Amino acid sequence: MLAVRMMQWLDVLAQPPDGGGPLPDPAPVAPPGAEQITEVIGYLRWGAGAAIIAGFLAGLILFAGGRVADHHRFGRMGTITMIASVGAAFLYAVGWQILSAFATA
């Protein structure tokens, strides 16, 4: 008796809310103020580009200073900083296209 009653309840819950047809699929709508969000993202991208350039130049100065002063640790740190900056520049250039491809798929 209890199993029959539970099956009836499940049948009632499985019905669409207005009695027929699939649920509507509304189109996405940007919230108010979405323009400011894209502006902030633009500021962040500009800041990331400036940080990549500053990091590369700092690594170059550190590398040159370490080699001139014959301090191998600073030279190695400068090399690592420059390599990290090149990797960050690659991710900066390619990352946006990858994220856009995932977002539109």
Task: Identify the pLDDT of residue 18.
Answer: 62
d(C-alpha 63, C-alpha 52), whole Å: 16
Strand ranges (E), 1-105: none
**What is the number of helices (H) and of strands (E) in the chain?**
3, 0
- In this prediction, residue 100 has a pLDDT band, given cuts at 50, 70 and 90, of confident
User: What's the pLDDT tens digit per position in 47-80?
Assistant: 999 999 999 999 999 999 998 898 889 999 999 9
- In this prediction, residue 22 has a pLDDT band, given cuts at 50, 70 and 90, of low
- In this prediction, residue 96 has a pLDDT band, given cuts at 50, 70 and 90, of confident
Whether the per-residue pLDDT at 25 is higher than 90: the answer is: no
